[in-house]
Amino acid sequence: AQSVTQLGSHVSVSEGALVLLRCNYSSSVPPYLFWYVQYPNQGLQLLLKYTSAATLVKGINGFEAEFKKSETSFHLTKPSAHMSDAAEYFCAVRAYGNNRLAFGKGNQVVVIP
Amino acid sequence: GAGVSQSPRYKVAKRGQDVALRCDPISGHVSLFWYQQALGQGPEFLTYFQNEAQLDKSGLPSDRFFAERPEGSVSTLKIQRTQQEDSAVYLCASSLAGLAAEQFFGPGTRLTVL
């Protein structure tokens, strides 16, 4: 079964600094990969997704992620953190032929002014 | 347009009570999913519908959990004889058909079992 690993539940980043959230997946076949953001008391919002097209995926709010098959990784980055980026971020995988999403435990991002 | 809506947003139940959680998906979305999100954790899959057919219920934690979508639109997740470990946020998501289709999530129902 597919699974996702996100290390470091809380991530602190200074305003204007690089945001890097790591995601590693395990899947027996090439997967679909997603990053979602969750603001307090709201549902999850899709940031970006990888569906076997370009390995570098650009999403909303200046985020991007790179699919690296050799490393089974799909790390999320943003060059310059903004206060509005404070939220919880989830990586998710959807194996080919399977409809369900399997989520990581999430990263709570705190932006320090 | 309107997104996925869920009601109630908050539910407090005494242990042993039955609860029903409602999900209104985006109009035209054939796929509907239920997830359970415990405090400090990522969402965990519960069940999946395609139209009115429940195609996957392997994530339901016990036979106290039951979901239905009788007309292929609104869905209800029912939990019988609630237990404290059922306390969580229950998220509903809907999508168009296709494995790469984006799942759109509702705001969730926060269930607290006392």
pLDDT tens per residue across span A43-67: 899 999 998 778 899 999 999 999 9
CA A85 to chain centre: 13
Cross-chain residue pair B99–A45, CB shorter than 8 Å:
no
pLDDT at A4 over 70: yes
Using an 8 Å CB-CB cutoff, list chain B residues near A104: 42
Please tell me the predicted confidence (pLDDT) of residue B1: 56
CA-to-CA distance for B92 and A91, rounded, in angstroms? 18
Phi/psi of residue A71, each to 5°? -105, 0
CA-to-CA distance for B106 and B109, rounded, in angstroms? 9
Cross-chain residue pair B108–A43, CB shorter than 8 Å:
yes
Residue A92 has a CB neighbour count (10 Å cut-off) of: 26
Q: What confidence category does residue A29 fall into, taking pLDDT thresholds of 50, 70 and 90?
A: low
Facing residue for A41 by CB, picked from B103, B104, B107: B107
Please tell me the predicted confidence (pLDDT) of residue A99: 82
Rounded to the nearest angstrom, the minimum Cα separation between A92 and chain B is 9
Residue A14 has a CB neighbour count (10 Å cut-off) of: 10
Q: What confidence category does residue A98 fall into, taking pLDDT thresholds of 50, 70 and 90?
A: confident
